[in-house]
Structure 1
Amino acid sequence: MRWFAPQPNVTEAEREAGLRLLISEAAWSGGTAALTTGVILTAFALHLGASNIMVGVLASTPFLAQLLDI
């Protein structure tokens, strides 16, 4: 676990590598979120035969979860 230990100094090359990884992770995260929520998830649920109520529950779940986060 020494790899995760904080370092007192970070070189410019390490900082640049970290920023590249951060941008890559953000891009993949955005793509994953776009594919697993919203219109695509609703269309998939309708394809599986979900009712209007189930689609509404599915669409409102993230907002209800935000209420629990407060």
Structure 2
Amino acid sequence: MTLDESKNENDIVDEGFGVTILTEDKLTEYLEGAVIDYVESQYGGGFEIKTNNPGGGCDSGCSSCGS
């Protein structure tokens, strides 16, 4: 997962709570039903993706996806 300020032609745009999320079209099946949350801990803050997807993870490289 990275922060990006520009939309690519294969990105899907999703907006909510004042946040715009760009997702590569090929990753949408892995994120179906996922919840994205910003979490702070003693080690800092970051985005966490929680999914019930039985596929076992995604290719985004995020620790919450199991990649």
- Relative contact order: is structure 1 or structure 2 higher (C-alpha 8 Å, sep ≥ 6)? 2
Instruction: Looking at secondary structure, tell me which structure has more helix per residue.
Output: 1
TM score, norm. by length of structure 2: 0.23
Bigger CA radius of gyration: 1
